[in-house]
Amino acid sequence: MDKRALPLDKVDLASGPIFIATMLWEAQVLKKRQRRDVGDLEHATLDELSDPSLPADPLVPIGYQRDDTRTSLLMLAGNVAVSLAFAGVYGTLTKKLYDKRRVTFTNPKVSFAATFIAWDFLYYWSHRLQHEQRLLWANHVTHHSSRYYNLSTALRQPWQGYLTFGIFAPMPLLGMPAHHIAKAGQLNLLYQYWIHTETIDKLPAPIEAVFNTPSHHRVHHGANPQYLDKNYGGILILWDKLFGTFEPELRRVKYGLTTNIETFNPVKVGYHETVDIVRDVVRRKGLKNKVKSVLGRTGWRPADELGAAA
C-alpha cells in the first residue's frame, strides 16, 4: 500500500539501510530459536487450525527462505518504481481536490493530527475493501502471497496501488494538504513494517487493546478459517473492534493464501490475479457474469461453476 506521496524524502532514503539491518538482525535471532516448517499445517485438521476452546498455541517461528526474501525485495523495488511514476498524477489530483476543499485548517498541528487519524481510518476501509472486492484484491493479494512471515514480508508490496487512490480522495476535500497526507501515509506504512515478525509474541494488554501488533497482524496473514479477512487496522486495532473484524491470535498461523501460487517470479506474484480476472472475463458468458468477475466479491463464481464444483 503506497503512501500517495511526493518523491522520496530523507525518511524514505533512510528506511532502506534500516530495513536491511533489522532483517539481518531478525534472521540471526530466529536461527537461535526453535522453528517450524513452512508446510507444517498443510494437512492440519479444522480443529488444529481453528478450535477456540484449546489453550493458545506457543509462538514457533518459520524464519527466512532465500528465494522468498528476494521476491519480497523485488516487489518493493517495483512498488517504489510505480509509486514514483504516478507521484505527479497523485500530486496533481490531490491539489485539484484540495482547491475544492470544504474545510480549511488554520492550525498546522491540528491539520496533521486530523490527517493522521483520517488516514488510519481510511486505511482500514481501503484494506478491507481490497479483501472484499476482486479487482482491488488483485492488487493486495501480492502482499499475502508469501508463506513466510518476517520483516521481509512487509516489503512485499503491490504494483497496482493506483486502484485505491479514490478511497483516500475525501482527505484533500476535507482540507488536508498534500504534504500532510503524504507524511501520514508514510508513517502509517513504516509503522506496519515492525509488526511483520515472529520474534515478538504478545505485548502488554493495554498495547494489544489499542494498537496493531505483531500478534494481531499475524492473524491477518493467516489462511486459517477463523483468521480470513480479519484485523485490517494499520496503526490502530480499534477500527477492527469497532466494525466487527477483530480476531485474537490463538491457533498457530498458516501463512499465505487459501490456494498458494507456488512461484517466486515477481511478475507472476504481482499480476497473477489480474491475469485470472482477464481469463474469467473472456471465458464466462453474459455481461453480468463478466462484470461480476471484475467488480464482484472476492471468490465469487457464477451459478454454473458452483454447481460443477458441488
- Is residue 142 domain-resident? yes
More confident residue, 237 or 307: 237
Query: Looking at the domain assignment, is residue 48 inside a domain?
Result: no
pLDDT, position 13: 86
Q: How much is the mean pLDDT over the chain?
A: 94
pLDDT at 12: 85
- Per-residue pLDDT band for 1 (boundaries 50, 70, 90) equals very low
Residue 126 lies in a domain: yes
**pLDDT by residue (tens digit) across 241-286?**
999 999 999 999 999 999 999 999 999 999 999 999 999 999 999 9
pLDDT at 310: 52
Residues of the chain above pLDDT 70, percent: 96
> For residue 2, what pLDDT band results from cuts at 50, 70 and 90?
very low
Residue 296's CB: how many other CB atoms inside 10 A?
18
3-state secondary structure of 276: helix
* Coil/strand/helix, residue 297: strand
* Separation of alpha carbons 202 and 84, rounded Å: 36
Crossing angle of the two packed helices 108-132 and 178-194, in degrees rounded to 10: 60
Q: pLDDT tens digits for 91-142?
A: 999 999 999 999 999 999 999 999 999 999 999 999 999 999 999 999 999 9
Statement: residue 4 has pLDDT above 80: no
3-state secondary structure of 284: coil
Name the pTM for this structure.
0.94
Domain count, the chain: 1
The average pLDDT across 143-156 equals: 98
Nearest 5°: CA angle at 159, between 153 and 160?
Answer: 125
Domain limits at 295? 10-37+57-301
Measure the CA–CA gap between 56 and 253, rounded to whole angstroms.
11
Any domain includes 290: yes
Query: CA–CA separation, 150 vs 194, rounded Å?
Result: 9
Is residue 310 situated within a structural domain?
A: no
Convert the pLDDT of each residue in 188-215 to its tens digit.
999 999 999 999 999 999 999 999 999 9
Q: Does residue 197 lie within any of the structural domains?
A: yes
| 181: in domain | yes
Write down the pLDDT at residue 5.
Answer: 45
46 assigned to some structural domain: no
